[in-house]
A and B are shown apart, each in its own frame.
Chain A
Amino acid sequence: MSQPSSSARAAQVIRFGDSRVDIACIGSLARRMVEVLFGDRWREEVVASAAPHYVLTSDSTGLTLTQGPITHCARADTGAAAELLMTCVLHDLADHNAAGLILHAAAVSWQGVGVLFPGVSGVGKSTLSAWLTSAGFDYLSDEMVLVPTGTRTLEGFNRALHLKRPLARAIQPRIEPYLCASSRDHDYFDDERGTLVPPQALRAGMPFSTPELRLVLFPEYRAGSAFTCEKLSAAQASAQLMGCLINARNLDGHGLPEAARLSKQVAAYRIRYSEPGTVQHAIVGMA
């Protein structure tokens, strides 16, 4: 067996599609942060010393995130470092990824049925996926989902959920037990906009799955609104999917042929809701 060269080092490697990001962690809090933020996504590997994109260091003064000569943050608190690390990793994983459609979307699975919630920030993706996870759905992602080219497989970037503050009324009682029993800065992180919590905070022992996409719901949260559901044509769904596509420039035809293929194969609806429970009932009915 060959020995690692002297220039090799251990790093937390995070893969998604055909991309990877390496993070060399120095300090126990740095390592813990990667575990909480990226859950099942990371693996410890030995990589060439030139390879790690990032070095995350924790010490008594705080957290420092560097990328080669660039210092993203120095002696930052855990919330700021966690948010920055998450932003950098998501960007890097999507930026050159050509494995398929990478969508700005949440996703869950119900009894093997993959449900996609594409949408821009603010439509309620994180709250919806958190609520459904706590109700027994399998969590796939609250932010970024890959559908590999030529497939209907949903591969969620199953990171820590980013729940905006104040916590939605529907979510609060479901997450409070975890927050009360856990340590901030160790088991979850508060940043400027919200709280980053691992999906296990909502449901322990959840399997990691890559279900077949069977239902696309374009959500719109509107306080006080009754639940409405409007069937979309394949063309309408395709146009909306393109609006949520992160890596268009890496794909043949900018991803439009793939978005069209998917839209022709999978039922899509535009939904408006105020109570996540109404979405749960709709999914169970449709599935």
Chain B
Amino acid sequence: MNDHEIPKPVDSVQLQDFAGELVVYDLARTRVVYLSDTAALVWRLCDGRRTVKEIIELLTSTYPQNASHVPDEVRATVKALEEQQALSALSPDR
């Protein structure tokens, strides 16, 4: 994964919102993923348009008090969700 990647939810997922936290259910793989408040925030920004770098910049400017942690948290969350096949990555020159 690199910061120029554009993460996007896979087509087969269904979401359940719990006022912050999320449960992502992959209908195709019948797999369920729990997202904490932080992970859910990253997920919501993975819309198939923003790069990882843009997500980091957006969250850093929104939460300047956590700026030092944001890059690693975003990268780790995107990586984990890709490994669980809940997110897929688009190349920036798509």
Residues in chain A within 8 A of chain B (CB atoms): 233-236, 238-240, 242-243, 248-249, 253-254, 256-257, 259-260, 264
Q: Which residues of B in the span 1-57 have a Cβ within 8 Å of any Cβ on A?
A: 14, 16, 18, 21-23, 25, 27, 30, 32-35
Closest 10 CB pairs of A and B: A235-B21, A239-B34, A235-B18, A242-B32, A260-B16, A239-B23, A256-B25, A239-B32, A238-B23, A256-B16
| Given contacts A253-B14, A256-B16, A236 and B34 within 8 Å (CB-CB) | yes
| Given contacts A238-B16, A238-B18, A256 and B23 within 8 Å (CB-CB) | yes
Interface residue tally for chain B (C-beta within 8 Å): 13
CA distance A234 to B16 in the complex (A): 11
Contacts of A253 in B (CB 8 A): 14
CA distance A235 to B18 in the complex (A): 6
Contacts of B21 in A (CB 8 A): 233-236
Interface SS of B by simple majority: strand
Number of A-B contacts (CB under 8 A): 42
| Given contacts A238-B23, A242-B23, A254 and B14 within 8 Å (CB-CB) | yes
20 contacts between A and B (CB under 8 A): A233-B21, A235-B16, A235-B18, A235-B21, A235-B22, A235-B35, A236-B21, A236-B34, A238-B16, A238-B18, A238-B23, A239-B32, A242-B23, A242-B25, A249-B30, A253-B14, A254-B30, A256-B23, A259-B16, A260-B16
CA distance A242 to B18 in the complex (A): 15
CB pair B30–A248 under 8 Å, yes or no, is yes
CA distance A260 to B32 in the complex (A): 13
CB pair B23–A235 under 8 Å, yes or no, is yes
Interface centre among B18, B21, B35 (most CB of A within 10 A): B18
| Given contacts A256-B25, A260-B23, A235 and B14 within 8 Å (CB-CB) | no
CB pair A233–B30 under 8 Å, yes or no, is no
Contacts of A249 in B (CB 8 A): 30
| Given contacts A239-B32, A239-B34, A243-B32, A233 and B25 within 8 Å (CB-CB) | no
CA distance A243 to B30 in the complex (A): 9
Contacts of A236 in B (CB 8 A): 21, 34
CB distance from A231 to the nearest CB of B (A): 14
CA distance A204 to B35 in the complex (A): 45
* Beta-carbon nearest neighbor of A243 in chain B: B32
CA distance A201 to B35 in the complex (A): 43
CB pair A254–B25 under 8 Å, yes or no, is yes
* Beta-carbon nearest neighbor of B25 in chain A: A256
CA distance A264 to B23 in the complex (A): 13
Extra 6 A-B pairs, beta carbons < 8 Å, given A234-B18, A234-B21, A242-B32: A235-B21, A235-B34, A242-B23, A254-B27, A256-B16, A256-B25
Contacts of B22 in A (CB 8 A): 235
CA distance A248 to B22 in the complex (A): 18
